Structure 1
Amino acid sequence: MTTNRGITNYGNNNTFSNNAIGKRAQVSVGAPSQESATDLSEEVSAWDIGVVTILSEELQAVRSALDLERHKEPSGLYFYRGTHSMPSGDLRVVATQSQSQGQRSAMGALENLRRHYNPRLWALVGVGGGIHDEHARIGNVIVSTDVIYYENRKINGKGDVRRRGEHRQAPAPVVHAVNAYFADNGTPARIRGQIPSHAAEEFSVYPGLIGSGEAVIADRESDIRQFLTGYHEKVLAVDMEAGGLSQYWQEHSVHGENNPGWVVVRGVSDNADEKKGHGFHELAARNAAHVLRELVPYLC
């Protein structure tokens, strides 16, 4: 007969499982569950590229450009995986879609990719709003290794708002890879449109900075646009996720393992003004996905 009182447990070092509390508490020791015994970040072999998309049109475009197939993990998460062949060998690519727009959801998607596939490179691919009249026309693509997060600000009396930009750059190997792409293809690089209705037209691909925050900008006179263009004249587009990507990378740079590089590829779907809408999402997403496919040999 069990006469113990209080708490009994069975555990390993500082991890306790199979606990029992109270009079005649008993512990039946069995094999640890697969979930508790598995550290995904350690056991999963590194994939080459992990792609984060936000909208369904973006994921569809990436799937088509890189020939990815749907895969459901035992955890219930869906990913889209495939192999991209190059002369130097095959690359494994995996893509996912965040649950919603914004920095926080993007960081959650990055964490899911890291835990299940541990990619060596992050790519944030999809649509954005152009804020540079010359370079960021609808259908053009911006390739960015620099992100300016614009949400930090000080609010003084009488409604005076002073924004404080936070600037992060991708690791040097990624910057060199993107520079090599433009050295080979010109600045801007010119490519045929990737949907049938624009196949006879060319779009331009520019290197440039991305402004990122939580606001959907649909006002040409927005103070955010004015701040970004005053902060750096080469801010070409805005989005709602690149700041989360750069922050996620920054916070993981303290770990001992290799920290993946990152790049942002944004097709311009609107000009962040009163005409903002969804009419050019497919065009911008497919152009961006095509540019990612062209960048892969340089990035990996």
Structure 2
Amino acid sequence: MTVITNRGIISHGDNNNFSNNAVGEHARVSTTDRSPDNGTPVGGGNADERTTTWDVGVVTILSEELRSVIDELGLERRKEPGGLYFYRGKHTTPDSTIRIVATQSQSQGQRSAMAALENLRRHYNPRLWALVGVGGGIHDEHARIGNVIVSTDIVYYENRKINPRGDVRRRGEHRQAPAPVVHAVNAFFTDHGTPARIHGRLPAHAAQEFEVYPGVIGSGEAVIADRESDIRRYLTNYHEKVLAVDMEAGGLSQYWQENSVHGGVNPGWIVIRGVSDNADAQKGHGYHELASRNAAHILRRLLPYLC
């Protein structure tokens, strides 16, 4: 609090609003700091948007991933004060209307994903985080290109000890999503089978059938394009159900864990990865759109279970 003394007249206000006025010798007013957004609550927009917590916050990394989510869910662009872009909309299920907001991280990797999550939290405070997009398959049977992996288990593989002779000992961190999310995913596969089956979401692949599996995602900072990579060997030895790898899910699970100290309800989280390559020498961008579209479709199919 700032206390101001003056002789004569003192007023605190703006061009259209005058308040905290005082007249006379030693006139005083007391002021408190005003918020930078002039008191606009979370979400901006009209009164309903300001007071309502959003249901699902989606983070994507690539433009193909964001476009797929926008098209699948019918989202519309919104620019928030400060220059951040979000894409928002509603999805109606037989039981409820779900409010969804999506954004794209600035770059690949754990740190940028965590920053995108923080932006979503500050502006929309969603009840559920969803990381949706492409990943590299490392399981020949389940993770062929175009299949989708739904994960509530993340293994972060980057932590390691390097001994004097170059011997590397990796120290994996394994985190699981909250129980309600796990139950929701289990219910989806109970209803649709394991694997669940979908047709390709691009016209060129519409006649082709793809499979959807629950599985573990390995996550770190490396772009893996080597079938003989020590990371692939480590992950398959660590847990035989590691089906795919990405560069962001570890950041999501870390953000979720550290966000739990703020009190209140900590959002749940889920990772949905369409397989765009097999983390080998053939890795490329040719199947990004197919994998993104398939992953976004599974997000929509999961919403009635998750919300």
- What TM-score do the two structures reach when normalised by structure 2? 0.87
1:176 pairs, out of 183, 187, 203, with 183
Paired position in structure 1 for 2:2: 10
What amino acid is the match of 2:103? Answer: T
Shift of 1:111: 0.2
User: Does the alignment pair 1:295 with 2:302?
Assistant: yes
Shift of 1:30: 6.6
Shift of 1:32: 3.9
Shift of 1:158: 1.3
1:27-85 C-alpha deviation (Å, 9 max, x unpaired) = 99877444176485696531000000000000000000110000001121000000001
**Cα contact 2:131–2:270 (8 A) shared by 1:** yes
What amino acid is the match of 1:233? Answer: E
Paired position in structure 2 for 1:192: 199
Shift of 1:184: 0.2
Matches of 2:257 and 2:42, distance apart in 1: 18
Paired position in structure 1 for 2:163: 156
Paired position in structure 2 for 1:242: 249
Paired position in structure 1 for 2:137: 130
Measured at CA, do residues 147 and 136 of structure 1 come closer, stay the same or move farther in structure 2, by a change above 3 Å?
same
1:56 pairs, out of 58, 63, 68, with 63
1:208 pairs, out of 215, 222, 227, with 215
Paired position in structure 2 for 1:35: 36
Paired position in structure 1 for 2:274: 267
Paired position in structure 1 for 2:77: 70
Report SS of the residue matched to 1:158.
coil
Report SS of the residue matched to 2:197.
strand
Paired position in structure 1 for 2:13: none
**Cα contact 2:42–2:125 (8 A) shared by 1:** yes
Matches of 1:89 and 1:174, distance apart in 2: 17
How many residues in Structure 1 have an aligned counterpart in Structure 2? 277
User: Does the alignment pair 1:82 with 2:89?
Assistant: yes
Matches of 2:140 and 2:117, distance apart in 1: 32
Matches of 1:195 and 1:115, distance apart in 2: 35
1:258 pairs, out of 259, 262, 265, with 265
Matches of 2:172 and 2:289, distance apart in 1: 31
User: Does the alignment pair 1:96 with 2:96?
Assistant: no
User: Does the alignment pair 1:281 with 2:288?
Assistant: yes
1:231 pairs, out of 227, 238, 241, with 238
What amino acid is the match of 1:85? Answer: T
Structure 1 spans left out of the alignment, 5+ residues? 1-8, 12-26
**Cα contact 2:2–2:32 (8 A) shared by 1:** no
**Cα contact 2:133–2:273 (8 A) shared by 1:** yes
Matches of 1:95 and 1:63, distance apart in 2: 8
Runs of 4+ off more than 6 Å: 27-31
What amino acid is the match of 2:161? Answer: K
Matches of 1:187 and 1:246, distance apart in 2: 25
**Cα contact 1:40–1:115 (8 A) shared by 2:** no
Matches of 1:108 and 1:145, distance apart in 2: 21
**Cα contact 2:151–2:216 (8 A) shared by 1:** yes
Matches of 1:270 and 1:51, distance apart in 2: 22
Q: Give the alignment's Cα RMSD to 1 decimal.
A: 1.9
Measured at CA, do residues 98 and 28 of structure 1 come closer, stay the same or move farther in structure 2, by a change above 3 Å?
farther
Paired position in structure 2 for 1:118: 125
